[in-house]
Structure 1
Amino acid sequence: MKGLIPDYLTDILDEVRDVTDGEVPDYIPALAEADPAWLGVVIHTTTGNTYAAGDDLAEFTIQSVSKPFTYALAMQELGIDAVREVVGMEPSGEAFNEMSLEKEAKRPFNPMINAGAIAVNQLINGTDSDVDDRVEVIRQFFSKLAGRELEIDASAVDGEMEGADRNLSIAHMLRSYDIIVDEAHDAVISYTRQCSLRVTLHDLAVMAATLANGGIQPVTGERLLSEAVCRQTMAVMASCGMYDAAGRWMARVGIPAKSGVSGAVIGMLPGQLGIAALSPRLDGAGNSVRGVKIFENMSTDMGLHLMSTENIAGAHAVRSINRVGEDTIVTIQGMVNFIGAEAILGVLNQHNFRDGRIVLDVSRMVESNTMGRRMLKEGLRRLREEGHEIGVIDPDGGLKQRLMDDGSQIPLVNENEG
């Protein structure tokens, strides 16, 4: 059963694989060289499990996906209120690289557009820090988030600086209003180096999961951010992370997210998981065309939408595993969506089943969604392929149908018999 969730992710990629809308950006040399066929997705749960499909090991520059993490670092260093004085929290209603500030406060609208991101970058390590020290603090922090040492792509920095007129203009504007104190060139090269860190989808998924986990890196267990900083970061991502498409995103997908012009999209479900997807072709708003579709499909299938009325499944979806005669009875409880089913499959994978029938008792299952039921059925089917006899106790019809993907039915077991 170890390949069950990656198989689902592969199915999700196959659903969007033939979509060829959008263009690979050509104004940054490093991005223009990207393979437009790249397509991958990684899920990292807050319990430390990773599931991947497609081009999950491809390396690319992080670009604007870096913005929420630098914003979080600035708040961790200086405090939330101090950062709020420099950058706002409202959608700008304009393109990400517009030269615009709030009319009254004369500060960038939010940290997810370039003006706000450059201003936030200049807060790291103190406003009197030099470029090298500031960038090294950011690099080290991002490396801790990813759980490995990340490196800056120097050629990407050089190529991007050749066409940095827009960002230089933004930096001059920020300096003219005393929002930053560095020379415009220093501010832009510092920000460009931040955006040129090389990452994989695995890096981004665990970085997103760290925010979802309240600041604790799920693999290393190290606390990197406070819960308050993570909440603030995710809240701003929810309203501003997808540029001009942020409203549509929240309606269709419903999770905090951030995109980048490299074609990456990250998102997280607080307390549960982080997701990262990659596909280089972008739409008019600067978001990955296929990346957005991947998230839309996953949100629908897995019940990820924050506004969903579904209960959140916990890590204790398996109530008990008992041996009754020749049967092993696995009793599950509560809400079974993706997270609940993932927890159940994890327990089943680790259990050393003896001979006899494996019976899944779903009589204590409060509710389930399509993805949760699909995963349970497929888990039982794979146990059968491994040579086990299977069955289910389902007096209330919680599984809806007992039909598995191969067309066979899970045998129904009488509750008294179990």
Structure 2
Amino acid sequence: MRSPVRSYLLSLHESVSGADPFADHRLSRLRTAAAPEPESDPNVLYGADPTRIGIAMTTADGHTYGVGDSEVEFSIQSISKVFVYALALMDSGFDVVDSKIDVEPSGSAYNDISSESGSGRPKNPLINIGAIAAASLVRPAPGETVFSRVLATMSACAGRELRLDEDVLAADLRDGAHNRGLSWFLSSWGIIDGDPTTAFEDYTRQCAVTVTAVDLSVMAATFANLGVNPLTDERVFTEEVVERVLSVMTTCGMYDDSGDWVATVGLPAKSGVGGGIISVLPGQLGIATFSPPLDQHGNSAKGIIVHEEMSEDLGLHFVRAATVGRSSIRSHVTVDYSNSTVRRPAEADAVLAEHGDHAHLIELVGDLQFSGFEAVARLIGDLEDPLCVVLDFTKVDDLSRVTIASLHRLARAMSEAGIALAVVDADGLLAEHVEAMGIRSFAYRYAALSWAEDIVLRRYGDESCFYDPEYTHAPMLDSLEAQHRAVILDHLVKQRHRKGEVIRAIGADFDGIRFMRAGEVCTYSADGDLLAVLRAGTTFGEFALNPDGGQPFDMIATSATTLDFLPADAIDRIGIEDPAAAAALWRSITVNGYTRLAQAVRGEAQTQ
């Protein structure tokens, strides 16, 4: 099945690729009215191809989506600052780092001398002057260099070994007079002890590391996953360090555009002049883009649009986002394990036991946001040869507009793949949308599972797997010899019951056997749990013969129901007048009863 998330990213890539972010009317519908427009002439560094654009997203459980130029390599540049700041906190501790670098937004360009009056302390670690100071606070182990420790740490975040681009390094060292001057400024204030050349060179090297958008999305997801790489399960940073870094990224990550970014995108982020941007939705996912043309703030112009669109379309802004997506799936079973409790012929039971794993029930829970539903869509996309899927929304508290839009995309993708989709929606959360989605909606789980079972039976079974909607006599009697069946039919009494009428109550004594000709009867435990659903062709009443107190279940008509009733006194008469017919009847009832008992036990287990 085509992934609805990937389809969304491809559509977004196409629309942004063809847009001019420097036109008078930008594609983005989200920038605040007071935000200045980018300069009319884009700035492209390092000879990059300005037509490139890549989008990547990695979830907190380690699944990556990439479209466009998401695997094209480019230099990480200032995005490296967040990882080196985290490393400085790990190595030197919060007190030391805070004494050297503040955490306040600078309100000025990334290369300004933004420092505290009277102390020279940089305003934050995500502008150049603060990042050079952070590089000086990395403490390598014996035998290590600062840069080897930085590279190893960034590689651990990416889940693969990254490398230094020597050509970019040479260009940055050649043209790095301004940053060299910033490092001497730091030395003059004692922020860096002694000659700051080493700190300048280490900072320049960290910016020249080569990455892809896919790499950056994994690195961002390591922050989203509280410092643990979701692909390798390696802990890179402590939770306390991640909390600090994401806080600074929120307020300072986009330089003098940070305020507008928070208002429109609402995610901790960091940009780099190599054309990359990362953003993090804590607990859920990391996003990365690559597009070389820069705006007046030094941020990727098209990258900003992608993040804005994704935040709006997928509900990622931190004031709307919910909890970790993995908690949205409560359970996942197939109908060979969790059946509808609808009584079916033995032939149907055999088909469902063999092929029921092609029909799936996924129970959802909580408040569903994008990342939670992404996990659902991915689960469905990974199923092997599914015929149908039932999504149970019974325990879902709320559906956002983003989730409903995601469900639209999922339904379309499943329809194109030939996979049927239904929902259990007792509260009507999707009542206004199911018709447009082209999916079935049921108020009760058993009804949705019965629908799924029917799909399996139509694919792998035949007519013998289905009872007719109405019978002239009970199919159970077909196993009897003609003369014995005729005896039984002569004693049957027709009964009719209205919807909601209690046919048999818990504790009632045995009064006979009932053969269903039409309608539906549901079996409920003393706690009100649904145990079985009986329809035309099935039989009930024999369980009241148990020695522990009569009828064990409530039997309630859930539609207008027609029965053939064989009273207990008629059974007694048959036993006296025609013992062979009575023995044949009890043999058939026993077989039917064992089948029903097994089904009732399975139904009871499903309510636990």
Query: 1:417 deviation in Å?
Result: 2.5
Q: 2:323 aligns with which of 305, 312, 321?
A: 312
Q: Quick one: distance in 1 between partners of 2:225 and 2:255?
A: 24
Q: Partners in 2 of 1:262 and 1:13 — Cα distance? A: 19
Aligned to 2:95, which of 75, 81, 94? 81
1:10-409 aligned within 5 A? 10-20=10-20, 21=22, 23-25=41-43, 31-125=45-139, 133-308=145-320, 311-312=322-323, 314-320=325-331, 321-323=333-335, 324-325=339-340, 328-352=360-384, 357-399=388-430, 400-402=432-434, 409=438
Change (3 A) 1:113 1:417: same
User: What code does the residue aligned with 2:87 have?
Assistant: L
What is the Cα deviation at residue 259 of structure 1?
0.5
TM normalised by structure 1 equals 0.91
- Distance in structure 2 (CA, Å) of the matches to 1:311 and 1:56: 27
Aligned-pair CA distance for 1:378: 2.8
Q: What is the CA distance between 1:81 and its match in structure 2?
A: 1.5
Secondary structure at the aligned position of 1:38 is classed as: coil
Q: Take 1:263 and 1:354, find their aligned partners in 2: how far apart are those partners?
A: 41
Contact kept? 1:24, 1:36, Cα under 8 Å: no
Q: Is the 8 A contact 1:253 1:305 kept in 2?
A: yes
Q: CA separation in 1, counterparts of 2:135 and 2:383? A: 48
CA distance in 2, matches of 1:264, 1:160: 17
Give the residue type in structure 2 aligned to 1:125: R
How much does 1:322 deviate? Answer: 5.0
Shift, 1:349, TM fit: 3.0
| Preserved contact between residue 42 and residue 295 of structure 2 (Cα < 8 Å) | no
Q: How big is the shift at 1:269?
A: 0.8
**1:76-120 Cα shifts (integer Å, max 9, x gaps):** 111112111110000112211112310133211100000000011
Between 1:64-73 and 1:212-221, the stretch displaced more is 212-221
In the alignment, the residues of structure 2 paired with residue 224 and residue 116 of structure 1 have an alpha-carbon distance, to the nearest angstrom, of 22
Q: Larger deviation: 323-332 or 339-348?
A: 323-332
Taking the aligned partners of 2:49 and 2:270, their CA distance within structure 1 comes to 21
Q: AA paired with 1:76?
A: M
- Name the CA shift for 1:154/1:328 in 2 (closer, same or farther; >3 Å): closer
The alignment status of 1:413 with 2:442, answered yes or no, reads: yes
Report deviation, 1:285. Answer: 1.0
- CA–CA distance in structure 2, aligned partners of residues 9 and 38 of structure 1: 15
Structure 1's 332 and 108: CA in aligned 2 closer, same or farther, altered over 3 A?
A: same
Asked whether the 8 Å contact 1:214–1:226 carries over to 2, the reply is: yes
**Aligned partners of 2:399, 2:117: CA distance in 1, in Å?**
48
Q: CA deviation at 1:188?
A: 2.1
Closer, same or farther in 2 for the Cα pair 1:284/1:272, shift >3 Å?
same
CA distance in 2, matches of 1:171, 1:184: 6
Post-superposition shift, 1:165?
1.6
Secondary structure of the residue aligned to 1:237 is helix
Distance across 2 between alignment mates of 1:142 and 1:380? 39
Per-residue CA deviations over 1:287-346 (Å, capped at 9, x if unaligned) read 1111111111111111111122x5435313233335235764433222222111112123
SS at 2:84 equivalent: helix
Three-state SS of the structure 2 residue aligned to 1:319 is strand
CA distance in structure 2 between the aligned counterparts of 1:329 and 1:267, rounded to whole angstroms: 34
Unaligned stretches of 5+ residues in structure 1: none
Closer, same or farther: CA 140–388 of 1 in aligned 2, 3 Å? closer
> Are the structure 2 counterparts of residues 37 and 91 from structure 1 closer, same or farther at C-alpha, using a change threshold of 3 Å?
same
Q: Is the 8 A contact 2:53 2:69 kept in 1?
A: yes
Q: Is contact 2:150-2:206 (8 Å) kept?
A: yes
Output the CA distance in 2 between the equivalents of 1:236 and 1:214: 15
Amino acid at match of 1:316: S
Alpha-carbon distance in structure 2 between the residues aligned to 1:343 and 1:284: 37
Whole-angstrom distance in 2 between the partners of 1:68 and 1:368: 34
**Counterparts of 1:181 and 1:156 in 2: how far apart (Å)?**
28
CA distance in 2, matches of 1:268, 1:2: 26
Higher alpha-carbon deviation: 390-399 or 74-83:
390-399
8 Å Cα contact 1:147/1:220 also seen in 2? yes
CA contact under 8 A between 2:46 and 2:274: conserved in structure 1?
Answer: no
Q: For residues 247 and 328 of structure 1, what CA distance do their matches in structure 2 show? A: 46
Give the conservation status (yes or no) of the 8 Å contact 2:164–2:209. Answer: yes
- Supply the distance in 2 between the matched residues of 1:201 and 1:182 (Cα, whole angstroms): 37
Q: 1:246 to 1:403 in 2, by over 3 A?
A: farther
Distance 1:86 1:354 in 2: 58
> How far 1:379 moved relative to its partner?
2.4
> Do the aligned partners of 2:88 and 2:134 also contact (CA within 8 Å) in 1?
yes
Runs (5+) with no aligned partner, structure 2: 23-38, 341-351, 353-358, 449-608
Question: CA–CA distance in 1 between the matches of 2:197 and 2:55?
Answer: 36
Paired amino acid for 1:317: S
1:218-276 C-alpha deviation (Å, 9 max, x unpaired): 11111111000000000011110000011111111111100111111101011111110
In structure 1, C-alpha distance between the alignment counterparts of 2:8 and 2:435, rounded to whole Å = 17
Give yes or no for contact 1:257–1:267 (8 Å, CA) kept in 2.
yes
- Structure-2 change in CA distance of 1:13 and 1:350 (3 Å): closer
1:33 match: secondary structure: coil
Given the superposition, is the C-alpha separation of residues 328 and 210 from structure 1 closer, same or farther in structure 2, using an over 3 Å criterion?
A: closer
What amino acid sits opposite 2:123 in the alignment? Answer: F
1:139 touches 1:150 (CA, 8 Å); kept in 2? yes
TM-aligned CA deviation for residue 359 of structure 1: 2.8
Q: What is the alpha-carbon root mean square deviation over aligned residues?
A: 2.3
2:480 corresponds in structure 1 to none
Once the two structures are superposed, residues 19-66 of structure 1 have per-residue CA deviations (whole angstroms, 9 ceiling, x without a partner) of 33265536xxxx241011111111111101111111101100000000
Aligned to 2:481: none
Alignment coverage as a number of residue pairs:
407
| 2:54–2:289 CA contact under 8 A, matched in 1 | yes
